[in-house]
Structure formats: structure tokens, C-alpha cells
Amino acid sequence: MPAGSYLHLDEDLHSDEGLEERFRCAPGPGGWRYTSQRSDGVRVDLVVDARWRQIRLELVTPTWWLRGGVTGPEVAWVRAAGETGTEHTERASGFLSDSPGFLVAIAHSLDLDENAETDVRLVRLSGPSLSPLTATWRWRRAGTSTYETDTDPLPVSQYDVTDLSTGEVETVHMAGDVVLAAPGVELTELESPPNLRA
């Protein structure tokens, strides 16, 4: 069960410290689960099914919470700052947020061959209020490199992710169910090897 820490390097903080995200992830009987807690109080609990669809999400900030999941061709969620939330639905394949766990779930759900690409519509959740914005990204699996380790060779896949609304391209490096590097995110600690085929 991989566990460790990511460091979020937020340009707005003007600090080398960033935010720490302590995480755990593991395959389960019918899919995969990712849980994390950030140093600013943000919590993530993401569960996917055997096809890596985001069937249950709980995302909590110090002031807002959101619960949702994929229901057929749509995602549905409830978002609130207090007891009672507002229900929403949107035609999309899943959610995207700052946590690297979402990148893992999306990449595996697309199951791209080498050099293949596809467009995916996602609901991006931003800021302390978890503001939702639906947009389309193009994911391309740019290649896989193998690195020798003390135990087994470690295959690392590179994904080029294009925000089609801005044309901005970002690169994500992933080994199994762990993100090794992504824009604004560094893996700083890993207690056990990734699940290579979770």
C-alpha cells in the first residue's frame, strides 16, 4: 500500500515550503482508493471502480465540503459550506482537483496506448470553496521509460495534458498509482513501491 508525501508548490505563497499532502492509496476488491490530508486542512477520499471511474468522492476544505461521483455519463455532486448542500449534475467523465490522486484515476480510466491521445471532459474543483468549472482536456501518453531499482524495474509513463480552453500543455510523470512529478507537485516521500497494475 503506497503511502507518502507530496509537496504542493503554490506560486501564490511566495515560499519554498509549500503545502504537504500526506497520502495513502491501495487497490481494493472492486477498484482503488486514495485518501489524503493536506497541511492546510484539505482532505480527499476518492474511490474508483474496476474501470477507474470515480464512483465516490469526498473533498473537504476548512470551510466547504463536496460529495459526488460518476453516475453513467454524468457526474453528480452536492457542495456546501454548511449543513445543507446544493445538488448539481454535469455531463463529464470525472473530477479534477489539485490532489495527484485525481491524475492517477484519470490516466488509468483512459487506458491509453503509447502515443495515443483522447479528449476528456472533467469538472475541475478549485480553491477553498471548491468552485466547479467544466472543461475539456486532451491527454496524450507520450511514452514510457524504465528505471532500474533495488527490487524490480520501474516503468514510468509520461502524459502530456493540454487544457483545450487555453492551449496550455503540462507534463505528468506517473509510475503505477503514484505521481512522481506534475506541475506544482513534487513527490517528497514514498514508503513503499507503487502498485504497477492497481
Q: What is the pLDDT of residues 121-170, one digit of tens each?
A: 999 999 999 999 999 999 999 999 988 877 778 899 999 999 999 999 99
Indicate whether 65 belongs to any domain: yes
H/E stretch holding 109 reads: helix 100-110
Indicate whether 198 belongs to any domain: no
Look at the chain and report how many structural domains it folds into: 1
Indicate whether 196 belongs to any domain: no
Indicate whether 82 belongs to any domain: yes
Angle (nearest 5°) at CA 64 between 7 and 79: 115
Q: Write out the residue range of the structural domain in which residue 28 sits.
A: 3-190
Taking the chain, what is the end-to-end CA distance rounded to the nearest angstrom? 10
Q: How far is CA 3 from CA 31, 82, 110, in A?
A: 17, 31, 24
Residue 14 pLDDT level (bands cut at 50, 70, 90): very low
Residue 15 reports pLDDT greater than 60 = no
pLDDT value for 30: 81
Indicate whether 99 belongs to any domain: yes
Indicate whether 158 belongs to any domain: yes
pTM: 0.93
Q: Which three cell numbers stand for residue 168?
A: 496550455
Q: For residues 139, 140, 145 and 151, what is the CA-based torsion angle, rounded to 10 degrees?
A: 30
Q: How far is CA 49 from CA 4, 15, 52, 69, in A?
A: 23, 38, 5, 11
Residue 11 pLDDT level (bands cut at 50, 70, 90): low
Indicate whether 146 belongs to any domain: yes
Closest to 157 measured CA to CA, from 120, 111, 192, 191: 111
What's the CA gap between 174 and 47, in Å, rounded? 19
Residue 28 reports pLDDT greater than 80 = no
From 16-30, 39-53, 121-135, 180-194, the region with the lowest mean pLDDT: 16-30
Q: Are 194 and 176 in contact (CB under 8 A)?
A: yes
DSSP helix/strand/coil, 84: coil
Q: Are 22 and 34 in contact (CB under 8 A)?
A: no
Indicate whether 120 belongs to any domain: yes
From 15-24, 70-79, 81-90, 124-133, the region with the lowest mean pLDDT: 15-24
